[in-house]
Structure 1
Amino acid sequence: MRFRHPDGTLVHLAYCTNVHPAEDLDGVLAQLARYAEPVRERLGAGTLGVGLWLAADVARALADETALARLRRELDARGLEVVTLNGFPYRAFHAPVVKRAVYVPDWTERARLDYTLDLARILQRLLPDDVARGSISTLPLGWRTPWPSERDDAARRRLDLLARELARLDRPVRAAIEPEPGCVIETTGRLRRTLDQADPEWIGSCLDLCHLAVGFEDPAAAVAAAAPVVKAQVSAALQADDPADPETRRALAAFAEPRFLHQTRAADGRSWDDLDEALAAGGPGPWRVHFHIPLHAKPEPPLATAHDTLVDTLGVLLGGPAALVDHLEVETYTWDVLPAELRPGEARTLVDGIADELAWTRDRLLALGLHEVIS
């Protein structure tokens, strides 16, 4: 989906396909048929943006021209376009247990650089002809421990190599570092130090609005620190105002699940690497939890989402006289680990849920003064 900001910037909205498990090209193509095209039809959109997640083995296979042409044909035939890729998970993002494995390989390792360059070469071939540039979101260097100074130096050298290789591509593709709680780059303040050492033409930030909220960051200050903002992931964090309340603790416990890491932060600065650790420690709130909640489907009280941070950050990014980002990606990958009452079922499918999230985001963009470009 495309929108025009009052300053003339073309803003792209997509949903991220890391919500679907696929470790080979056939699986990716099946996703497009089963989910992406029906989402487009449900929204009545002529063209739908998809933020593809391509596992490392798929990205390597798409070096073959025939395979890549097959993917491009399927996208075109189903009314789908790609301007951004999610290059954060390397593979096995839907394994029974992911947790900290999602940060491997990190930016000290050659494999991370090679994977990101594979994605860049694919994306330049998938970009629509009338699109100025593509983007690839990537992890915030790695998990914070162990991270001695020599690892920081190694990661910086990899990012320098990345920038040089991106500059050689036929079409512009920019990398976007995504701060995340618990990682080397957890906040936009720490991100600024890395961006100041990188080439701003090729490397900027990806602001995940759930992560921003979990860190209790101020939207305006965070956007300023993260410039240039290459990409934003529209996502909502779980919030518990009174985690000491027994009913609230019971409700939170339903979100403590074994697949993904759910970093938890308290407003007073306390932090835990996973929700079960926070529940064991206890203490006053409010708490915010790294659990991507569907944008349109808030949990029942006593839980909530950090809705104000989400809306306020979108306002900072796109509500002013100039668009500060042009790639938006709805990234709720947690649908099948949500508590039962929030999961898609027979009456409302995953297609319905994704379409409703995109419709929610579309309404926010229109309220900010953008206009939908009908294709």
Structure 2
Amino acid sequence: MRFPHGHLAYCTNIHPAEDWPSTFQALDTHALRVRDLVSPGQPYAIGLRLSAKAAAELLTGDYLPGFKDWLAAENAYVCSLNGFPYGDFRAGAFVKRNVFRPDWTDPARLEYTKELFTIISELVPEGVDGSVSTLPGSFKEFGADETLIHAQLIELAGFLDALSDVSGRDLHLGLEPEPRGHFENTEETLRFFDRLLDASPDHEQIKRRIGINYDCCHFALQYEDARTSLNALRGEGLRLSKIHLSAALALDPRIPEAVEAISAFDEPTFLHQVLARHPDGRIERFTDLPDGLASLDTAEGRDAEQWRVHFHIPLDAEPAGPLKSTRQHSRDALMLAEEVPDLCSHWEIETYTWGVLPADMQRPVEEQIAAEYRWVLGTNAA
């Protein structure tokens, strides 16, 4: 849907689907029900997640023309794809670090992303730009060769320039910083782009085609301020390809009840990084929630005064105390957009953890998503 800052959608990675038929079934049921709750009678944006398998299938036979016909019949459109999770991304699967595989050193990641852009170039309406979001190059623990990442991103930028010319659409990739990613905060993101630009023979092409998918949950986890971070990225001339409106969990680990409450969010599917801030301002990073919990058995771990935990929770619902939410970061991003009309054209609600939320936080998925839309639109109006 259109809203004052551009196009607003929710990411369909909340619906488990790994092939095209099941992806389409989720759209034809859940996405349309959400549309009827939040945007009846209006053009409706779909933030589409496609696995590598679904993307390859969509490019075969009559699937893509049929999908375009369905979009037209339902008064819906697609202007952004989520291309971060390559493979299985559902409750019950062992996703964890695998969400970063294949990374941007692997040709399979490049080919998958090219397929996604081939698809979005066919789907995005005339006069609307098309984006794909992806991982931040790699995962720190993988020790990736950054020269390989640069080479593949530079190749993709050239591919996108050519595809944009042929399709008449403005196409761009958003690298999504995440805790423990190859780059994860504002400073690391700026330095990565410095090195990428140094490696590229065409700086302007990189800045046109390769940008940032700014996930509010991820930057809040870094204890960063949305206004400061977004302005720093813009100040270097980097493109904000998409903004994810999302929230993480926060707590004081010195409170036993808070530690007990956060333990209920320890589940085996997704990675739940912990960033612990100490009184001296130092931030200690743990790859997953069990690692953070284990640190509390040490004197250094018990010294932390705040934790932020990578578990996407609904924007409209504060968790029960003593846990807290970082949703103010999303609110601040929306407030900055009031002052900077061209901040970003693609906005997406991303709370993919519905299937693994504790039982007392679960609602029917369409009701949850609709409530998050209402929160975003109400915050915007405020």
- Return the TM-score normalized by structure 1: 0.91
Matched, 1:87 2:107: no
Is residue 291 of structure 2 the alignment partner of residue 297 of structure 1? no
2:213 matches 1:217: no
State yes or no: 1:257 paired with 2:257. Answer: no
Q: Tell me how far apart the structure 1 counterparts of residues 215 and 16 of structure 2 sit (CA, whole Å).
A: 21
Determine the C-alpha separation between the residues in 1 that align with 2:74 and 2:47: 15
Matched-pair identity in %? 39
Q: Is the 8 A contact 1:37 1:80 kept in 2?
A: no
Post-superposition shift, 1:75? 2.2
The whole-number CA distance in structure 2 between the counterparts of 1:360 and 1:158 is 38
Q: CA deviation at 1:156?
A: 0.3
Structure 2 gap ranges (5+): 198-205, 297-301
Distance 2:122 2:225 in 1: 37
The answer as to whether partners of 1:22 and 1:28 remain within 8 angstroms in 2 is yes
Are residues 321 and 172 of structure 1, via their aligned partners in 2, closer, same or farther at CA, if it must alter by over 3 Å? closer
Q: CA deviation at 1:321?
A: 4.1
- SS of structure 1 residue aligned to 2:312: strand
The 5 A counterparts of 1:130-279 are: 130-131=127-128, 133-147=129-143, 151-169=145-163, 170=167, 171-196=169-194, 197-198=196-197, 199-226=206-233, 227-240=238-251, 242-268=252-278, 269-279=283-293
Question: Structure 1 residue 4 and structure 2 residue 8: aligned?
Answer: no
Does 2:380 align with 1:365?
A: yes
2:114 paired with 1:117: yes
TM-superposed CA distance for 1:172, in Å, is: 2.0
Select between 183-192 and 218-227 the one with higher mean Cα deviation. Answer: 218-227
What does 1:16-35 correspond to in 2, within 5 Å?
Answer: 16-35=11-30
Greater fraction of residues in helix: 2
* CA displacement at 1:65 relative to structure 2: 5.6
* Paired residues for 1:314-353 under 5 Å: 314-316=334-336, 318-344=337-363, 349-353=364-368
RMSD (Å) for aligned C-alpha atoms: 1.4
Equivalent position of 2:95 in the other structure: 98
Whether contact under 8 Å (1:195, 1:203) holds in the other structure is: no
Q: Does the alignment pair 1:107 with 2:104?
A: yes
Within 2, Cα distance between the matches of 1:204 and 1:195? 9
For residues 4 and 267 of structure 2, the distance between their equivalents in structure 1, rounded to whole angstroms, comes to 40
Residue identity in the other structure for 1:96? A
Q: Answer yes or no: is the 8 Å Cα contact 2:246–2:327 preserved in 1.
A: no
- Whole-angstrom CA distance in 2 between matches of 1:183 and 1:137: 14
Counterpart of 2:57, as a letter, is A
What's the secondary structure of 1:216's corresponding residue?
coil
Moved more, 272-281 or 254-263: 272-281
Q: Give the TM-score normalised by structure 2.
A: 0.89
Q: For residues 61 and 119 of structure 2, what CA distance do their matches in structure 1 show?
A: 10
Structure 1 stretches of 4+ moved >3 Å = none
User: 1:301 & 1:120 partners in 2: Cα distance?
Assistant: 43
C-alpha distance after superposition, 1:150-204 (max 9, x if no partner): x100000000000000011122210001000011111121111232324101001
Aligned length: 353
In 1, distance between residues paired with 2:306 and 2:75? 43
Please name the residue that 1:372 is paired with: none
